[in-house]
Structure 1
C-alpha cells in the first residue's frame, strides 16, 4: 500500500520550490530557478535506488529502473515536467491540506474573500471524504505537473521496495519548460531508449488521452498612419480600427469560451495597439487536420481581403505550427493505450478516454518517435489560484504506473 503521508510530504517538497518558466527567455531551462528542483530530483532519484541517473546541460533528467525478470520485456517510460505556468505566480506556494472534505466551500484566503466553491467547480463533489491539497489563494499550486513527478518517483520507489512486483526496464524523464511549449524540444529520445512512454500530466482521476489539438500561433500586424488629429481628414489610418475589423471578422462563437470536446477555436491571446501599429497574438487549435488547415487559411484570406479593401498592405500575418495531434502516431500502436486502460480497470478506476483540449509533451515526443499517451495526474483548475489535487488521486495514479509496469512484464 502506498503511504498517504509520504505522498503528501513529497508533493509539498516539490511545489514549495518555485519553477515558473518564462516564454520570453531564450535559455533552456528558461529560468535559472528550475535548476533548484532539477538538482533536488537528481539527488532523490539516486537516494531511492534508481540507476543511470543523469541530468544534461539543459536540465533534462533521466533515470532507469532495471528489469527484475529474466525474459525480454519492452522498455517503457514515464515522463513529467517540473516547470510551472507563467500564467500565475508559483512563488511562495503555501499549500493547505483539507482533510475529509465535506463538499462545501473551501476558504482559501479569508482576508481577500477567495473561495474554492463547488458552485463554480462542481468537480470538487467527486472528492467528498477525501484529502485535498489547495493553494492559499495567492499562487497556483503546481500540481501541473509536480503531481506527475510525485507519482513517478513514488512508483519507482515502491517498485524498488517491492521486488515481488515483476517488471521490465523502466525509464523515467523529467523536463523543463513544458508550460511554454518547449518541454520536448531538447528531449533525447534515442538516449531515453524506450519503446513507448506515458506522460503523467492529465487532470482528473481516470483520464487517459491519446488525442490532442493541432496547434499554431499567429502574429497579425496592422499598419496605420499617424497624422495630427486636428488635420487628419482623409489622411489618418487608425490601425486599432482595422484590428477590430480583423477580430470581428472571425467567427465569434469559435473561441475557447464557446467551444468544447472536439470543437476547435481561434483565441486572441494578446493585443497591443496604437494608431500607428497594432499587433494581435492568436493561437489556432483544432483536432481535425483539415479543419486546422482551414482555420489557418481563413486567417490568411482575411488578411488578403483587408489589404484589398484598403488598397494597400495594411495587414501582415505570420503563422507558425506548434504541435500536431498525436492520434496519428498512437493509433498504429493502440495496445499501449489498451494496457493503460487495463491497468486502471484492474484498480477499479473508470477510464475516461477523451481528447486533450491543449497540448502535451507527449504530442511532440510521439512525432519524435516515442509514442506517448497521457494519463491523469489528479489535479484540477491548473494555472491559477483555484488549483487543487486530491491526495487519493495521486495515490491511484502511482498505483496505475506500478500496474502498467506489471502488465507489460506479463505480456510475453
Structure 2
C-alpha cells in the first residue's frame, strides 16, 4: 500500500519551515500572539493550493484549513490531521540555521556555540541514528521541530495521497494552528468550519509513540491583600503582602508535590509567577493530575496552606481564584476506541513497535477532544524540544508520513 520508492518531501519542507520565524508571545493580548506567525501560515495556504487543495484558506485568526477530498463513495468519517506552526518562547526561534548531519555515533558540537552538544550519553535515542541523518540547529536557537516537523509530515502525507490516488481515503481535513505553545492554540477555532469527526495531532516524540492521555489542568491565583503604610512610620501598621506570599511559598512541600519531585502518573502544584507590592501580591500556580477529580484535592491542600499561613497575619486576607485550563483527553477517547485502535494498527503496519504513553502536559488534542473532536497525539520524532540542542531524525519523520497515509487508508477500509 505504501510505496517504499516514494520520494519524500518532508525533509525539504521541514528545512524550509524552520527558517521562518514563528515564535509565539505569552505576554501578548492579540491573536495570534505574534504577527510573524502569519508568514508561515500564508505560505502553507499557497503550498496547499499548489498541491491541488482548492479550498485551502486562512481565517482572520490565522487558522489554516484545507480538504483532501474523498476518492471513494464509502461513508467514511471526516478525519482531521493537525499541527501548530508556532515555536516556544523558552528559547530563541529567530534566524534558525538548520544543519543536516550524517550521524556517525560521535559527539556533535553545534558550530555557533560549541558548548551546545549532542551525544548518546545526553540523548540515548541517538543510538537509533548511527549511520542515519539527523537535523539540528546551529547552537544559538531552538530548531523548531516542535511542531514544524508535524506540519511538514502532514503536508508530505497529503502530497503522497494526491500522487497515489489508488490509496482509498475519505475526506481529510488539514488544520494548522497558531499559539499552541502559549496555551491558546484552539482559543478561536471554529469547530463548525473545521467540520471533522475525529482528529490526530502530529506533535509527539519517538517513532512509534502515540499518546491518548494528558494531565487535567487548572490554574490557581492566590492574591494576598496586606495593609500599606509608609515604611518610616510602619510599626504595628504595615502588613506586607509580599512577605506573606514568601511564607506561603516556603510552606509548600519540598520533597513532593512539585514538578521537580514527581514523575510518571504523579500530579503536582507548581508556582509559576509572583508579582506585587507590599499592599497586594499575587502568586500564580498551575495544578496538574491525570485524574480530574484529584485537582480539587490539590487545590484544597493549597488553600489550607494559604489559610494556615494567613492565620498568623489576622489583618491580611486572600483571594483564591481557580480557573479550568484543560482536561485529560482520555476521558473522551475511551468513548471512541476505534480512534486509537486504527492509529495503533497504522503504526504497526509501518513496521514500528507501538509505545502508548501519557503526556505530562497538554496538547491541542486535549482541548480539541473536549470541543467535540476526539484527538490523540502521534509521533513526529522531535527530541530535545524547546532547547538549543533540539534535533530530529529524518527517518522518523518519514515513518510518520507513512503512518498518516496508512491511517487514512485504514479508516476507509473499515467503512462501508
TM bucket (normalised to shorter chain) is over 0.9
State the distance in 1 between where 2:225 and 2:108 align. 49
Secondary structure, aligned partner of 1:384 = coil
Quick one: which of 147, 156, 163 aligns to 2:165? 163
Distance in 2 (alpha carbons) for counterparts of 1:14 and 1:4: 19
Q: 1:231 to 1:145 in 2, by over 3 A?
A: same
Q: After alignment, is 249-258 or 167-176 more displaced?
A: 249-258
Secondary structure of the corresponding residue to residue 287 of structure 2: strand
Q: 2: CA distance between counterparts of 1:134 and 1:5?
A: 19
Q: 2:109 touches 2:117 (CA, 8 Å); kept in 1?
A: yes
CA distance change for structure 1 residues 322 and 251 in 2, over 3 Å: closer, same or farther? same
CA contact (8 A) 1:38 1:61 kept: yes
Query: Contact 2:20 / 2:39 at 8 angstroms: preserved in 1?
Result: yes
User: Which stretch of the first structure deviates more once superposed, 395-404 or 248-257?
Assistant: 248-257
Structure 1 range deviating more: 280-289 or 299-308: 299-308
C-alpha distance in 2, partners of 1:29/1:111? 31
Query: Secondary structure of the equivalent of 2:358?
Result: coil
- Residues 122, 276 of structure 1: alpha-carbon distance in 2 compared, 3 angstrom cutoff: farther
User: Would you say how many aligned residue pairs link Structure 1 and Structure 2?
Assistant: 411
- Alignment of 1:24 with 2:27, yes or no, is yes
Asked if 1:84 is matched to 2:87, the reply is yes
Partner of 1:222: 224
Partner-residue secondary structure (3-state), 1:337: helix
Please state how far the C-alpha of 1:69 moved relative to its aligned partner. 1.6
Find the partner of 1:204 among 203, 206, 223. Answer: 206
Cα distance in 2 between the residues matched to 1:259 and 1:203: 21
The residue that corresponds to 1:320 in the other structure is: 323
The 5-angstrom pairing of residues 280-295 of structure 1 reads: 280-295=283-298
CA distance in structure 2 between the partners assigned to 1:231 and 1:193 by the alignment: 65
Q: Does 1:264 align with 2:267?
A: yes
The SS at the match of 1:93 is: coil
State the secondary structure of the residue aligned to 2:66.
strand
What is residue 194 of structure 1 aligned with on the other side? 196
- Of 312-321 and 213-222, the range deviating more from structure 2: 312-321
Q: Paired residue for 1:54?
A: 57
Which residue of 71, 91, 102 corresponds with 1:68?
71
User: How many angstroms apart in 1 are the aligned matches of 2:132 and 2:257?
Assistant: 37
Query: In structure 2, the residue corresponding to 1:51 is in which secondary structure?
Result: coil
Greater shift in the superposed pair: 182-191 or 236-245: 236-245
Residues 52, 223 of structure 1: alpha-carbon distance in 2 compared, 3 angstrom cutoff = same
* 2:241 and 2:316 in contact (8 A); partners too: no
Q: 1:304 aligns with which of 304, 307, 324?
A: 307
What is residue 147 of structure 1 aligned with on the other side? 149
Q: Find the residue that maps to 2:401 and give its secondary structure.
A: helix
The alpha-carbon deviation at position 312 of structure 1 amounts to 2.8
Give the CA deviation at 1:267: 1.6
In the TM superposition, what is the alpha-carbon distance from 1:208 to its structure 2 partner?
A: 0.7
Q: CA deviation at 1:298?
A: 1.7
Deviations 1:35-64 (A, max 9, x none): 100100000000011232121111111111
CA 1:129–1:25: 2 relative to 1, 3 Å: same
- Which one is further off, 292-301 or 305-314? 305-314
Alpha-carbon shift at residue 233 of structure 1 (Å): 4.9
Indicate if the aligned counterparts of 1:220 and 1:315 stay in contact, CA closer than 8 A. yes
Paired residues of 1:4 and 1:391 also in contact (CA < 8 A): no
1:183 maps to which residue? Answer: 185
2:345 corresponding residue in structure 1: 342
Q: TM-score, normalised by structure 2?
A: 0.93
Deviations 1:297-317 (A, max 9, x none): 222222232233311334333
Is the partner of 1:210 in helix, strand or coil? strand
5+ residue gaps, structure 1: none
* Residue 102 of structure 1, aligned match among 101, 104, 108: 104
Please point out which of 348, 353, 366 is paired with 2:369. 366
Contact 2:226 2:315 in 1 (8 A): no
Report the aligned-residue RMSD. 2.0
Distance 1:170 1:225 in 2: 60
Moved more, 289-298 or 241-250: 241-250
- Displacement of 1:229 after TM fit? 6.1
Q: Indicate conservation of the 8 Å contact 2:58/2:65, yes or no.
A: yes
Deviation string, structure 1 residues 241-290 (Cα, Å, up to 9, x no partner)? 32232123223222112221111111222233554544322211111112
